[in-house]
């Protein structure tokens, strides 16, 4: 049987990873403008997210513009959006399923094997959600690297990794680790031993002594 403390730790880590995925999706700093050229302008900073692009002035004023058309976006951004949303929805489902299978909950306490299976199913869904977030952030980060080292990209139009991207990587790691710990609740099959054979009974004594 899995330790209840280890199971609870896995749930907490996966839940924190799910929260991190939501925060990463909502943050606009997926990529920030790189000041790698000769003409460095530090009066403003430009960064983009999955839903909007923002400009922050040195005075503290921030102006953001939401992406108007979905069809006008590049395929990488659309795929990243879809994977992050799918990861968040799967994480929400995993929370409900894993909660039923937690040992500290009274749901399905009459059937311990079924209860442990629910915890394992929740852990598997957390693993899938973590993989979706990991693929989305890795894909988006790879696109940033390709554009940064592309000689056709102007120096003033290059971007670097933003804080939201690191948040997404941390969230994916927590979801994967928490889901793996929940999967440790997999019920073990009982070892089947062969049925013992009865020993032959001794023949009854006739009560007479033979000389």
Q: Is residue 57 part of a domain?
A: no
Q: Contact, 144 vs 160, CB < 8 A? A: yes
| Neighbouring-strand partners of residue 66 | 52
pTM of the model: 0.78
Q: Is residue 197 part of a domain?
A: no
What is the average pLDDT value for the chain, to the nearest integer?
Answer: 80
Which residues, including other chains, have CB under 8 Å from residue 109's CB and lie 6 or more apart?
115
Q: For position 118, what pLDDT does the model report?
A: 86
Q: For position 1, what pLDDT does the model report?
A: 45
Q: For position 192, what pLDDT does the model report?
A: 40
Segment 11-20, tens digit of pLDDT: 999 999 999 9
Alpha-carbon torsion angle 107, 109, 110, 114, nearest 10: 80
Q: Which domain holds residue 95?
A: 4-30+70-183
Q: Is residue 54 part of a domain?
A: no
> Rounded distance, CA 10 to CA 100, Å?
14
Q: Is 149 exposed, middle or buried (0-12, 13-18, 19+ CB in 10 A)?
A: exposed
More confident call, 109 vs 206: 109
What is the share, in percent, of the chain residues with pLDDT greater than 90? 33
More confident call, 165 vs 55: 165
Q: Is residue 156 part of a domain?
A: yes
pLDDT at 28 over 80: yes
User: pLDDT band at 195, cuts 50/70/90?
Assistant: very low
Choose the weakest-confidence range: 14-23, 81-90, 188-197. 188-197
User: pLDDT band at 178, cuts 50/70/90?
Assistant: very high
Q: For position 18, what pLDDT does the model report?
A: 95
- The CATH number of residue 175's host domain is 1.20.140.150
> Rounded distance, CA 62 to CA 152, Å?
30
> Rounded distance, CA 71 to CA 131, Å?
26
Q: Is residue 25 part of a domain?
A: yes
First to last CA, the chain: 64
Q: Tell me phi and psi for residue 55, to 5 degrees.
A: -125, 125
Q: Is residue 196 part of a domain?
A: no
Domain count, the chain: 1
**Region 71-96: what's the mean pLDDT?**
90
User: pLDDT band at 73, cuts 50/70/90?
Assistant: confident
> Rounded distance, CA 80 to CA 30, Å?
11
Segment 91-150, tens digit of pLDDT: 999 999 988 888 766 666 666 678 788 888 999 999 999 999 999 999 999 988 888 887
Q: Is residue 140 part of a domain?
A: yes
Structure tokens at 104: 């500290």
Q: Is residue 210 part of a domain?
A: no
Question: Of the segments 26-40, 75-89, 188-202, which one has the largest average pLDDT value?
Answer: 75-89
Structure tokens at 10: 């896995």
Segment 35-59, tens digit of pLDDT: 655 555 555 778 888 888 888 777 7
């Amino acid at each position: 049987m899995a330790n209840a403390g280890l199971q609870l730790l896995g749930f907490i880590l996966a839940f924190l990873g799910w929260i991190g995925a939501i925060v990463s999706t909502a943050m606009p700093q997926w990529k920030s403008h790189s000041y790698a050229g000769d003409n460095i302008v530090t009066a403003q900073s430009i960064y983009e997210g999955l839903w909007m692009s923002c400009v922050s002035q040195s005075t503290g004023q921030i102006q953001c513009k939401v992406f108007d058309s979905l069809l006008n976006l590049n395929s990488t951004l659309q795929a990243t959006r879809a994977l992050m949303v799918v990861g968040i929805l799967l994480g929400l489902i995993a929370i409900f399923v894993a909660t039923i299978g937690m040992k500290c909950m009274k749901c399905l306490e009459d059937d311990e094997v079924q209860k442990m299976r629910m915890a394992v199913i929740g852990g598997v869904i957390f693993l899938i959600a973590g993989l979706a977030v990991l693929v989305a952030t890795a894909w988006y980060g790879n696109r940033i690297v390709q554009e940064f080292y592309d000689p056709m990209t102007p120096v003033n139009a290059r971007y670097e990794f933003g804080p939201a991207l690191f948040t997404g990587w941390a969230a994916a790691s927590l979801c994967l680790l928490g889901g793996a710990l929940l999967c440790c609740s997999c019920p073990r099959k009982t070892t089947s031993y062969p049925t013992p054979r009865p020993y032959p009974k001794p023949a009854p004594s006739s009560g007479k002594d033979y000389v």
